[in-house]
Amino acid sequence: MAKNNPIGIFDSGVGGLTVASAIHQLLPFESFIYFGDTRHAPYGDKSKSTILDYSRRISRFLVEGDCKCIVIACNSASAMAYKELKLDWPDVPILTVVEPVVAEVARLKARKVGVVATRATVRSQVYSKQLQKLDTDLRVVQKATPLLAPLVEEGFAGTEVSTGVLAHYLADPALKELSHLILGCTHYPLLQKEFEKYLGPEVQVINSAEMVARGLQVLLKEKGLLREASTEPKLQFFVSEKTKAFSKTARLFFGKEIKLNEKLLPA
């Protein structure tokens, strides 16, 4: 695998741009190919077999694009497809959004951790299982928040609509007295300020994007795949369907108009 090959990043839609942006800021010399499956977003209410099918088709596109590694920038796909993708592509390093967050929370010695995520991620219990492997005394509570990702996809982040829906979810008594809250969907960092405002300073909101970027840096170093600063990196964005929300969010994160390449999922 060549150092100068691009990183492959995929998500169900715009949420993975939070991860792509964090990777670009931490590793500015790296090229990447991003695929947002906007036609089928969000993944959170879909079955495991459907999420796995989409993930396999996207990962094949990225591997055929000579990507040196794959970042699954989607919690639902991380929970439902990671093991199978590892078997499909044994020679390609694959990083999910889950492991770096679990490692960070364990390091922080949290008392009671809340996880807000899609239904698929909550059903998988991927966070609670991995966290409690590291700390059996840790209290973990999960809350499915299925309306938040579609709101972000439709461009309603930071509006009265998203604020009202978020307040409804966070009013759940199970989420009281948290020390930390994991944003278990890569769409949710686009609502981070709203989470922090509602919860107050006593709850640390965990944004996975920066942790994933750091985890990727470690992985690339271990594999000898960090790109040298020799030429300008190439950032490519593919979506299964062009949307105004994706274009707006990409421009927000990368500070310029982003060229979107529309591509249906490979058969």
* Catalytic center residues: 74, 185
The amino acid sitting at 176 is K
Long-range contacts of range 121-126, CB-CB < 8 Å, 24 or more positions apart? 121/44, 121/75, 121/76, 121/78, 121/79, 121/184, 121/185, 122/184, 124/79, 124/80, 126/75, 126/78, 126/79, 126/98
What is the sign of the dihedral through the CA atoms of 168, 38, 14 and 4?
positive
Cα–chain center distance at 157: 17
Reported as type and span, the H/E element at residue 121 is: helix 119-124
What is the sign of the dihedral through the CA atoms of 84, 182, 253 and 263?
positive
The amino acid sitting at 58 is I
Q: Which of 115, 191, 116, 98 is nearest to 153 (CA)?
A: 191
